[in-house]
Amino acid sequence: MSKQIQERSADTAGALLSVQNLSTYYSEDETDVPVRAVDGVNFEIARGETYGLVGESGCGKSTLGLSLIRALPPQGDIVDGEIRFEGREIGQLPKSEVKDVQWADISMIYQGAQNAFNPVKTVGDQIREPLRVHNIVPEGERERRVRELLEKVNLQPDVAEQYPHELSGGMKQRAAIAMAIACEPDLLIADEPTTALDVIVQAEVLNMLQQLQDDLNFGMLVISHNLAAIMKLSDRIGVMYGGKIVESAPAETLYDAPEHPYTALLLQSLIDPRRPPDQVETIEGTPPDLRDPPSGCRFAGRCPLATEQCRDMEPPLEVVGEAHEAACFHHEEVSEL
């Protein structure tokens, strides 16, 4: 245990973002049993690094992203933990100071961003908005900056005068990216940047994100259900299950030798057109109820390796290899799955 903590604080020193024991719950009011959407999460992102986040629908990925940028809906609250951005604690910043962080330090492409555009304002006006709020570019130059940004994401500059409904899904997503990088953030969170886009546009959007990152050297948190995309884009990948990160490793390691049963099963459930359908395995059972999660390992109810111990105790996230952490008592047996 102590080894783990030491290692962690060692590489935390240079981290762009460091998240310790973060918990975010949703509740209507005090009497409501909270949804523990994020429950004790630890991870870091280095400058220029891409961290991919995958996991079952509803496991807390978007909530984690929204916590980092402090854009949770009113029901959501960070109830515990620390978010350090360039060494500064931002998890408990008062609302008035949160605005300084959003867009300028951390920006986010929200899930469903294609619909987040205001239908009655031109694309240019909307991209100009963060520039105005942060007053990064003098007013007279904003027009030019907007055009520059559009060009960066391979859109014609005259898209600035168009309304969102005039753009295709792929174009809207690129406009959302332009908006997200407008203030040159140090950390970009992209929540499902390629869903609802066809394969050809997907590849293009992903290549674009990678290129922008090479140019601007921001750290990136990419949330995606597209495993193939995430594998290619990420330096490291975190796998989330039931509000927790249960495994984290470099993409190659995770792909070749996962050490958490959920990760292994997730990879087996991948539908790849090159694989005959009968090789696809689905994961039986349902995800844990985040209002009342089981006390031991949250995956125990669905895990083929589960034992008595798993139901009684919660497995800690432990170092299992180089840059590789997993939270499973029986991680040595995962390769046999």
Partner 1 sequence: MSSESTTTPPPETSEEPILEVRNLEKHYVKSTGWLESLFADEERVRAVDGVNLSIDEGEIFSIVGESGCGKTTLGKTLLRVIESTAGEIRFKGTDLASLSDSEMQKMRQHLQIVYQDPFEALNPKRTVRGLLRQPMEIHGITDETEQRDRIYRALEDVNLLPAGDFLDRYPEELSGGQLQRVLFARALVLDPEFIVADEPSSMLDASVRARVLDLIDELRDDRNISFFIITHDIGAARYLSDRIGVMYLGRIVEMGAAAGIVDDPKHPYSKALIDSIPSPDPREPLESSGIGSEVPEPVDLPSGCRFHPRCPVATEHCREADPEWREVPSADDAVRMTECHEVEPKQTPLE
Ligand X SMILES: Nc1ncnc2c1ncn2[C@@H]1O[C@H](COP(=O)(O)OP(=O)(O)OP(=O)(O)O)[C@@H](O)[C@H]1O
Among 7, 14, 21, 75, binds ligand X (CB under 6 A): 75
Rounded distance between C-alpha atoms, residue 178 and residue 291, angstroms: 37
Residue type, 241: Y
Q: How far apart are CA 275 and CA 266, in angstroms?
A: 15
Does position 26 interact with ligand X (CB under 6 A)? The reply is yes
Query: Cβ atoms within 10 A of the Cβ of 268, count?
Result: 14
* Full 3-state SS string of 159-214: HHHCCHHHCCHHHHHHHHHHHHCCCCCCEEEEECCCCCCCHHHHHHHHHHHHHHHH
Question: Could you tell me if 245 and 239 are in contact, meaning their C-beta atoms sit under 8 angstroms apart?
Answer: yes
- Residue 41 in the binding site for partner 1 (CB under 8 A): no
Residue 204: closest CA among 168, 154, 239, 163: 154
Contacts of 133 (CB under 8 A, 6+ apart): 99, 103
Is residue 204 exposed (0-12), middle (13-18) or buried (19+ Cβ within 10 Å)? middle
Residue 145 near residue 137, CB atoms below 8 Å: yes
Looking at the Cβ atoms of 130 and 170, the one nearer to partner 1 is 170
Q: Which of 71, 196, 216, 337 forms a contact with partner 1 (CB under 8 A)?
A: 196
| Burial of residue 156 (number of CB atoms within 10 Å: 0-12, 13-18, 19+) | exposed
CB-nearer residue toward ligand SF4: 149 or 305: 305
Task: Give the integer Cα–Cα distance in Å for 317 and 12.
Answer: 16
How many chain residues interact with ligand X (CB under 6 A)? 16
Q: How far apart are CA 214 and CA 27, in angstroms?
A: 40
Q: Which of 18, 20, 50, 111 binds ligand X (CB under 6 A)?
A: 111
Interacting residue with ligand SF4 among 64, 127, 297, 317 (CB under 6 A): 297
Residue 305 interacting with ligand SF4 (CB under 6 A): yes
Q: Check binding of 265 to ligand SF4 (CB under 6 A).
A: no
| Residue 62 found at the interface with Mg ion (CB under 5 A) | yes
Of 182-190, 205-213, 285-293, 305-313: span binding ligand SF4 (CB under 6 A)? 305-313
Binding at 135: pick from ligand SF4, Mg ion, partner 1, none (beta carbon under 5-8 Å per type): none
Contacts of 107 (CB under 8 A, 6+ apart): 69, 130, 180, 181, 182, 183, 185, 187, 188, 189
> Could you say whether residue 200 binds partner 1 (CB under 8 A)?
yes
Nearer to Mg ion, 61 or 128 (CB): 61
55 binds ligand SF4 (CB under 6 A): no
Q: Which is nearer to Mg ion, 42 or 62 (CB)?
A: 62
291 binds partner 1, rule: CB under 8 A: yes
* Packed helices 169-180 and 123-134: angle between N→C axes, nearest 10 degrees: 10
Pick one of 303, 317, 320, 324: the residue that binds ligand SF4 (CB under 6 A). Answer: 303
Q: Where on the chain is the footprint of ligand SF4 (CB under 6 A)?
A: 260-261, 297, 299-300, 303, 305-306, 310, 315, 328-330
Q: Where on the chain is the footprint of ligand X (CB under 6 A)?
A: 26, 35, 37, 55, 57-63, 73, 75-76, 111, 290
Q: Where on the chain is the footprint of partner 1 (CB under 8 A)?
A: 26, 54-58, 62, 73, 75, 111-112, 115, 168-170, 192, 195-201, 203-204, 206-207, 225, 227-229, 231-232, 234, 251-252, 255, 265-267, 269-274, 276-277, 280-283, 286, 289, 291
Q: Where on the chain is the footprint of Mg ion (CB under 5 A)?
A: 62, 111
